[in-house]
Amino acid sequence: MCTTGHNKQQTNEPARVFPRVLRAFEVPLLVAVPLAMGAMALFDVDQAALVMLAVVVLVLTLFLAGFDAERPALRQIMPTVVLAALAATGRIIFAPVPDFKPVCAIAIIAGATLGRRSGFMVGALAAFTSNFLFGQGMWTPWQMYAWGLVGYLGGVLADAGAFTRRDGSPRRAALVVAGFCLTMVYAAVINAYDVIGFVRPITVAGIAVRVAAALPFDLMHACATVLFLCLLYAPWTRRIARVVRKYDLRQGA
């Protein structure tokens, strides 16, 4: 009997170690993407778009595998899935207004209330599911990574106490700054992918033209994020926090 129990414990040990290892490598995985971008730009690789795509797909696969490997219960998954669905729906509803979308704001709220890993999942899933309407393509993994990164960083800032005062009230100025800056992080990832992958030769003039063309849309996106955060952060975080406390749902960093 004792031997059987010991063998079962040994059998289950890899299943427990795998998610811990992947969680420990979350930050290096997220950093691997900009590092790959920098290497492609530095060495002017001809197939930079394909190499970077392979890197971002690998990062997404390992990140999602780490989340799934912990086998969270349905009650733990549901808030993440619901917020991802709301973000995707919001993107669809506001599609007539170019780049006016709530995805960054909802991903930040998810990261702040459910943990940085759930914030990443909300951003990534919102991009993937909404692109069944807008069109799937090699841009989808980049949108998944970029919106996921916004949610993850939102969770990091919330853990540092950037968004709330000691009495629990939101710091509106911090939300405005963080919403704007994190949306520009999304824009930087997408624009860098576009420039490094498809501008040949890479010149200051070529970069300036691409960035200038995208800037009005990026600013609209950032303003939308700020607006949605100002409208949704306080009421949504209160309601989600009650659910998190009741069912002990918050995921660790």
pLDDT tens-digit map of 161-182: 999 898 878 899 999 999 999 9
Above pLDDT 90, what percent of the chain?
70
User: Is residue 31 in some structural domain?
Assistant: no
C-beta of residue 203 within 8 angstroms of C-beta of residue 86? no
Instruction: Give the pLDDT band of residue 17 (cuts 50, 70, 90).
Output: confident
pLDDT score, position 194: 93
pLDDT score, position 73: 72
Instruction: Give the pLDDT band of residue 44 (cuts 50, 70, 90).
Output: confident
pLDDT tens-digit map of 184-198: 999 999 999 999 999
d(CA 23, CA 66): 6
Higher-pLDDT residue of 44 and 12 is 44
User: Is residue 27 in some structural domain?
Assistant: no
Q: Tell me the two tokens of residue 169.
A: 């009230």
Higher-pLDDT residue of 218 and 68 is 218
Domain coverage including residue 226: 74-247
Whether 140 shows a pLDDT value over 80: the answer reads yes
Give the number of domains in the chain: 1
Give the C-alpha distances (Å, rounded to integers) separating 115 from 109, 143, 153, 216, 221: 9, 20, 10, 31, 24
User: Is residue 135 in some structural domain?
Assistant: yes
Helix (H, G, I), strand (E, B) or coil at 164: strand
User: Is residue 11 in some structural domain?
Assistant: no
d(CA 179, CA 228): 9
- Spatial CA neighbour of 37 closest among 57, 26, 53, 59: 53
pLDDT score, position 200: 84
User: Is residue 95 in some structural domain?
Assistant: yes
| CATH code for the domain in which residue 138 is found | 1.10.1760.20
User: Is residue 14 in some structural domain?
Assistant: no
Task: Measure the CA dihedral 174/228/252/242, to 10°.
Answer: 100
Whether 58 shows a pLDDT value over 70: the answer reads yes
- Give residues with Cβ within 8 angstroms of 53, minimum separation 6: 138, 141, 142
Instruction: Give the pLDDT band of residue 75 (cuts 50, 70, 90).
Output: confident
pLDDT score, position 66: 83
User: Is residue 20 in some structural domain?
Assistant: no
pLDDT score, position 173: 94
The mean pLDDT value for 43-59 works out to: 92
